[in-house]
Amino acid sequence: MKSKKEENWGVLIEELHSKTDENAVRVIVSEALKEKRLVDDSEVTKLVQQELDKKGLITNSEMESHINAAQLKMIKWVVGTGISAVAITLSLLKLFI
């Protein structure tokens, strides 16, 4: 006596043999994988995040925030350097004029 699972897989295999269109086979396989899903999307996301944390890697959004912070710091330094260059130039002009 076959179990219900074995019967479902048997039907799936028969459908695969009867289909010749590649897209139809992909649809059947994807439906079978959805039915047999062992973990859901939230668990996968959680596992990926744990692995990234273990290895010390960062995600795209974290990288973007670090880049934005560095760009902001660079802008502040450029503005500060420009102001000090103008101040030095004006003081030298006052000194010699």
**What is the pLDDT at residue 31?**
73
How would you write the chain as a 3-class SS string?
Answer: CCCHHHHHHHHHHHHHHHCCCHHHHHHHHHHHHHHCCCCCHHHHHHHHHHHHHHHCCCCHHHHHHHHHHHHHHHHHHHHHHHHHHHHHHHHHHHHHC
Q: What angle do CA 37, 43, 47 make, to 5 degrees?
A: 120
pLDDT in tens, the chain (97 residues): 556 666 666 666 666 555 555 666 667 667 777 766 666 677 777 877 787 777 777 778 889 999 999 999 999 999 999 999 999 999 999 999 8
**What is the pLDDT at residue 44?**
73
